[in-house]
């Protein structure tokens, strides 16, 4: 059977066309501009009318945390609930993380995580490998993951001493391995040792409200770590470096400066840093402020961070928008460990709303339609070596979203599909809505209703990105 998307505007990172799109099996088989006659439906074709809508590639969310074990709790979306929510939001690929901890075995950590995801995901998925204990064996094993398992990226932490933290020597060694293999090094760039001092001092002074989460993680300590990571990448032989969750003008400026020096560095930001701020949410005290605690933290809206981050996306200083989806329920989790900011699990859920939240940047004139598609799908697919995803083109996987710019989306915990009892974006009314979603040829969301099958998602063996080598 053939499926046709007719009468829509096809939007890719490199342009838009009035064209009809045909899908056969799992692949896009034909794209015909209507100026050239379009595609005439046959009697056996399933026809999806996209009049007035954009036909865009399924979103690629390269940074999510389903059922993440934080040590005190587990993030509240399973791979099943989280990927259903992703589908509702037009995301047809997620990349989560396998986590090796200090002294632990990388290959075992990968296999455990793989088994958990494989039996549940409803959209296609991949895994990055976290190295929480960089030692000789961890580097040997990480190096082998690309051929064994198709894992093209590792993640390192400059924050969280005593937990996931790597010191500069460990980071240099890991980056040397990345320079050698072409693996992408994702880095959580914050100066964790300095942050821990500020946290200790805030608590000693009785400053425990949620806003002190942000106040003890100042943007200077994010920027300093970005600078250090960039220098280490260069010294390592220009390792591919990807800074996750860039939240501040200060960190962005370091990325821009490093790029002008020729560092092989890419930046990711997230919708929360573009739409939420310290003042809007963290001044609320307990309990509401706890719902907005994430790391890197939300920044003050008076310091131009949001405007600078939008500009960074517009001018390709930032390459990707991911959600860093890390959901927790309010009562049992965010507030479950005591009334002090450092006891609150870090993370905001948002895998369902990335395309909608980023589309507001198109409406406001911050980014073009094409750039919206690029940062949400094309660039993450390319940078992380995800095969056959991220554009509407013949022979690509038929991951297709029909996006209706005339509809509206109101975000609420009452109606979202993530397993969270609150939303950091509660009540936000957005222009545009995801209408229909196809994943590898299957319609999984039809006019706003999930119609997909459990565990149909496929593991994506990735390749080292040709984009960055």
Using CA atoms, how far residue 29 sits from 23, 82, 248, 330, in Å, is 5, 30, 42, 46
188 touches ligand DUC by CB under 6 A:
yes
Rounded to the nearest whole angstrom, what is the least distance from the CB of residue 467 to Zn ion in the complex?
22
166 touches ligand DUC by CB under 6 A:
no
Q: Residues 47-86: x/- map of binding to ligand DUC (CB under 6 A)? A: ------------------x---------------------
Which residues neighbour 184 within 8 Å (Cβ) at sequence distance 6 or greater? 152, 153, 154, 178, 240, 241, 242, 383, 384, 385, 465, 468
Name the residue number minimizing CB distance to ligand DUC: 295
The residue (of 10 and 186) whose beta carbon lies closer to ligand DUC is 186
Query: Which entry of Zn ion, ligand DUC, none binds 224, CB below 5 to 8 A by partner kind?
Result: none
317 touches ligand DUC by CB under 6 A:
no
Query: Which entry of ligand DUC, Zn ion, none binds 346, CB below 5 to 8 A by partner kind?
Result: ligand DUC
Binding site for Zn ion (CB under 5 A): 188, 324
Name the residue number minimizing CB distance to Zn ion: 188
347 touches ligand DUC by CB under 6 A:
yes
Closest of 168, 174, 164 to residue 346, by C-alpha = 164
β-strands 442-446, 429-439 pairing: antiparallel
The residue (of 65 and 215) whose beta carbon lies closer to Zn ion is 65
Closest of 334, 363, 348, 346 to residue 433, by C-alpha = 363
The C-alpha atoms of residue 458 and residue 440 are separated, in whole angstroms, by: 9
323 touches ligand DUC by CB under 6 A:
no
218 touches ligand DUC by CB under 6 A:
no
Omega before residue 126 within 30° of 0, cis: no
Which residues neighbour 140 within 8 Å (Cβ) at sequence distance 6 or greater? none
Query: Which entry of Zn ion, ligand DUC, none binds 327, CB below 5 to 8 A by partner kind?
Result: none
Rounded to the nearest whole angstrom, what is the least distance from the CB of residue 257 to Zn ion in the complex?
22
Rounded to the nearest whole angstrom, what is the least distance from the CB of residue 423 to Zn ion in the complex?
18
The residue (of 222 and 324) whose beta carbon lies closer to Zn ion is 324
Rounded to the nearest whole angstrom, what is the least distance from the CB of residue 389 to Zn ion in the complex?
20
CB 55 within 8 A of CB 92: no
Applying CB under 6 A, among 346, 409, 419, 436 the residue interacting with ligand DUC is 346
The C-alpha atoms of residue 76 and residue 67 are separated, in whole angstroms, by: 6
Question: Concatenated DSSP letters for 268-288?
Answer: EE-HHHHH--HHHHGGG-TTG
Q: Which residue has the tokens 């934080």?
A: 70
Rounded to the nearest whole angstrom, what is the least distance from the CB of residue 155 to ligand DUC in the complex?
8
- Chain residues 280-299 in contact with ligand DUC, contact rule CB under 6 A: 295
Rounded to the nearest whole angstrom, what is the least distance from the CB of residue 327 to ligand DUC in the complex?
10
Closest of 248, 201, 270 to residue 425, by C-alpha = 270
Which residues neighbour 394 within 8 Å (Cβ) at sequence distance 6 or greater? 27, 28, 29, 30, 31
CB burial of 263-275 (b: ≥16 within 10 Å; e: otherwise) equals bbbbbbbbbbbbb
| CA 214 from centroid of its chain's CA atoms | 21
Query: Which entry of Zn ion, ligand DUC, none binds 240, CB below 5 to 8 A by partner kind?
Result: none
322 touches ligand DUC by CB under 6 A:
no
Task: Give the residues lining the site for ligand DUC (CB under 6 A).
Answer: 65, 188, 244-245, 295, 324, 326, 346-347
């Amino acid at each position: 059977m053939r499926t046709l998307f007719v009468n829509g505007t096809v939007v890719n990172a490199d342009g838009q066309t009035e064209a009809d799109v045909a899908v056969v099996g799992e692949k896009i088989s034909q794209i015909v501009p209507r100026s050239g006659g379009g595609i005439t439906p046959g009697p056996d074709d399933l026809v999806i009318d996209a009049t007035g809508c954009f036909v865009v590639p399924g979103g690629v969310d390269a940074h999510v945390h389903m059922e993440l074990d934080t040590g005190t709790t587990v993030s509240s979306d399973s791979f099943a609930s989280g990927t259903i929510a992703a589908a509702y939001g037009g995301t047809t690929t997620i990349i989560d993380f396998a986590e090796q901890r200090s002294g632990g075995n990388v290959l075992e950590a990968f296999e455990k995580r793989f088994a958990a995801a494989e039996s549940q995901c409803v959209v296609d998925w991949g895994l990055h490998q976290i190295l929480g204990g960089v030692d000789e064996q961890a580097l040997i094993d990480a190096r082998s993951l690309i051929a064994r398992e198709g894992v093209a990226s590792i993640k390192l932490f400059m924050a969280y001493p005593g937990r996931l933290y790597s010191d500069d020597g460990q980071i240099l060694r890991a980056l040397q391995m990345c320079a050698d293999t072409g693996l992408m090094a994702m880095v959580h760039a914050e100066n964790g040792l300095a942050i821990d001092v500020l946290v200790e001092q805030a608590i000693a002074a009785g400053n425990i409200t949620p806003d002190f989460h942000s106040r003890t993680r100042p943007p200077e300590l994010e920027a300093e770590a970005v600078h250090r990571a960039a220098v280490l990448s260069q010294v390592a032989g220009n390792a591919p470096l990807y800074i996750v969750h860039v939240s501040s003008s200060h960190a962005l400026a370091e990325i821009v400066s490093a790029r002008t020096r020729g560092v092989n560095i890419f930046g990711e930001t997230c919708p929360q840093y573009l739409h939420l701020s310290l003042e809007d949410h963290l001044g609320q005290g307990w309990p509401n402020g706890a719902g907005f605690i994430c790391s890197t933290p939300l920044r003050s809206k008076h310091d131009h961070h949001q405007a600078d981050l939008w500009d960074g996306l517009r001018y390709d200083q930032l390459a990707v928008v991911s959600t860093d989806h890390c959901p927790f329920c309010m009562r049992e989790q965010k507030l479950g460990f005591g009334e002090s900011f450092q006891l609150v699990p870090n993370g905001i859920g948002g895998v369902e709303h990335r395309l909608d939240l980023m589309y507001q940047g198109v409406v406001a004139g911050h980014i073009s339609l094409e750039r919206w598609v690029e940062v949400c799908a094309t660039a993450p697919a390319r940078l992380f070596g995800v095969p056959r995803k991220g554009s509407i083109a013949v022979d690509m996987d038929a991951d297709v979203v029909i996006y209706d710019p005339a509809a509206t989306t109101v975000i609420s915990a009452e109606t979202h599909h993530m397993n969270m009892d609150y939303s950091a974006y509660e009540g936000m009314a957005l222009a545009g809505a995801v209408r229909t979603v196809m994943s590898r040829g299957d319609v999984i969301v039809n006019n706003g209703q999930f119609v997909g099958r459990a565990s149909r998602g496929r593991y994506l063996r990735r390749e080292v990105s040709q984009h960055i080598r």
